Amino acid sequence: MTGSSAATPSAGIGTPLPTVGKSDTKPTWCPGCGDFGVVAAVEMALKRLRIPSHDVVVVSGIGCSSNLPHFLSSYGFHGIHGRSLPVAEGIRWANHGLTVLGTGGDGDGFGIGAGHFVHAMRRNVDLTYVTMDNQIYGLTTGQASPTSTMGQKTKSTPNGVIENPIDPIALALASGATYVARGFSGDVKHLTDLVANGIQHKGFAFVDVFSPCVTYNKINTFDFFRQRVYKLESAGHDPADLVAAWQRSLEWGDKIPIGLFYRVDRPTYEELEEVLSAGPLAFQPAGLHGKDALLDEFV
C-alpha cells in the first residue's frame, strides 16, 4: 500500500504531490512528552515511503496522544474514546487505496477499545496501529491505565494497582496480528523503521510504543526504559518464529525487548472481501438502475 495514488480517480499520474509533513497546528503536549517522538517517527516514516499526504488518513480516539492527527498534513479523523479502529476499518473498506493509520493511547486502545483492538487484528485489516503507551491516564490527570504496573500508586489507586497489566504484545500475538512490534519514543530512528515497515506490511501492523508521560507517571520514565530496553534485531531474534515471539513478549524486568517480535504474510480482510476485488468501493457504481430483475425474488 505504499506510494499509491489510486485513492482517487482525480489524482494526477506522474505529478509529484506533497508528502506528509507537519500541519500548521503545534502539538499541545507537555514539554518532554514521549508523544513528540512518535509524531516525528510517523511523519518521517510516511515521508520515507513518499506517500502523498492526500492518500493518508490518520484516525484516533481520545486522550493526549489521540490529538496526533491534528499535527500532520494528511487527512485525519479524531473520533471518540476507544473507537479509532472501527472508524479506520470502515475507511479502509470504503477506499482501500488509502493508507490508514490508527493512533492513540493505552487507555484508548487496551481499556475502552480493547474489544475493537482484538477484532481488528484477527481480521488482518491492512492498517497500521501505533499506540503511545505511557501506562497512565494523562488527559484525565493521572489514573491507572490497563498497562499500569501492579502496585503503582495513582490518583484512582492510592493504595496501588491490584490488577495485572495487559501485555499488548502478547495480546496482539494471540489475536492474530501479522506484524507485531514495540518501539521507544526515546529512539526515534528505530521507531521510524518500525512504523515505516509496518505501513509497508500488507495486513494489520501493530506498533506499541513506550512513550513516557513526564507529568503523571514517575515510574515508567525515559530513564526507566533507557536502562532496560534492548533491540530484538541485535539479539538474534527471528521474527518469523511465533514461539520465540511469545517468549520475548513475556520478558519484563531488567531487560525489556523492543523491535519486531513477529511478522507473517496472511491474506488481508480487503483481499478476502470479494466485493473489493472490483476496486475501491468508493469508486464502484452504486444504486439499482436497470436491476429490475431483482424484484422477481419477491413474486
Partner 1 sequence: MSEIAVRVGGQAGDGIQSIGESVARCFSRMGLHVFGLNAYQSVIRGGHVWFQARASDGRPESPGDGADILYALDRSTVDIHAAALRPGGTVVFDPEKFPLAPADLPTGISPLAVPTLEIARKYTSQSILQNGGGIGATAFLAGIPLELLHQVLTDSFGSKAGPVVDWNVGASADGYHFAEAHAGRNVRALSPHGAPKLLMTGNQAIALGAAAAGCKFLSQYPMTPATSIMHWMAAHSTSLGVVVKQAEDELAAIHMAIGASFAGVRSMTATSGGGFSLMVEALGMAGMTETPVVVVESQRSGPSTGLPTKTEQGDLNLMLGAGQGEFPRAILAPATPAEAYRAMIDAFRLAEEWQTPILVASDLHLSENYMTVDRTEIDLDVPVPSLFQVPSNGSAYLRYQFTDSGVSPRAIPGQPGLQFVAGSDEHDERGHLISDVRAGIPRWISERQRMMDKRMKKLAGIAASAPGPVFEGPVDAPLTFVAWGSTVGAVRDAMTELASGGRTTNLLRFPTVYPLDGAKVLAAFARTRNTLLVEGNYSGQFGRLLRAETGIYLPNRLLKYDGEPFLPHEIVARALEVM
Does position 8 interact with partner 1 (CB under 8 A)? The reply is yes
How far is 211 from 132, CA to CA, in rounded Å? 5
How far is 124 from 118, CA to CA, in rounded Å? 10
Which of the ranges 94-102, 149-157, 234-242, 245-253 carries the binding residues for partner 1, by CB under 8 A? 94-102
Please pick, from the candidates 37, 52, 109, 111, the single residue that binds partner 1 as defined by CB under 8 A. Answer: 52
Exposed/middle/buried for residue 299 (C-beta within 10 Å: 0-12, 13-18, 19+): exposed
Which residues neighbour 169 within 8 Å (Cβ) at sequence distance 6 or greater?
Answer: 180, 182, 208, 248, 249, 261
How far is 37 from 252, CA to CA, in rounded Å? 23
Does position 250 interact with partner 1 (CB under 8 A)? The reply is no
Under rule CB under 8 A, which residues in 14-33 are in contact with partner 1?
Answer: 17, 25, 28
Does position 224 interact with partner 1 (CB under 8 A)? The reply is no
Tell me the β-bridge partners of 259: 182
Does position 275 interact with partner 1 (CB under 8 A)? The reply is yes
Q: How many residues does the chain have?
A: 299
Compute CA 148 distance to the chain's CA centroid, rounded to the nearest angstrom. Answer: 20
Which residues neighbour 54 within 8 Å (Cβ) at sequence distance 6 or greater?
Answer: 7, 8, 11, 17, 74, 75
Please pick, from the candidates 16, 158, 236, 287, the single residue that binds partner 1 as defined by CB under 8 A. Answer: 287
Which of the ranges 56-64, 157-165, 178-186, 203-211 carries the binding residues for partner 1, by CB under 8 A? 56-64
How far is 126 from 201, CA to CA, in rounded Å? 8
Q: In angstroms, give the least distance from the CB of 76 to partner 1.
A: 3
Does position 47 interact with partner 1 (CB under 8 A)? The reply is no
Please pick, from the candidates 39, 46, 49, 59, the single residue that binds partner 1 as defined by CB under 8 A. Answer: 59
Q: In angstroms, give the least distance from the CB of 151 to partner 1.
A: 32
Q: In angstroms, give the least distance from the CB of 194 to partner 1.
A: 24
Binding site for partner 1 (CB under 8 A): 7-12, 17, 25, 28, 52-55, 57, 59, 62, 67, 69-70, 73-80, 83, 86-91, 93-95, 97-98, 115-116, 118-119, 273-276, 278, 281-282, 284-292, 294-295, 298-299
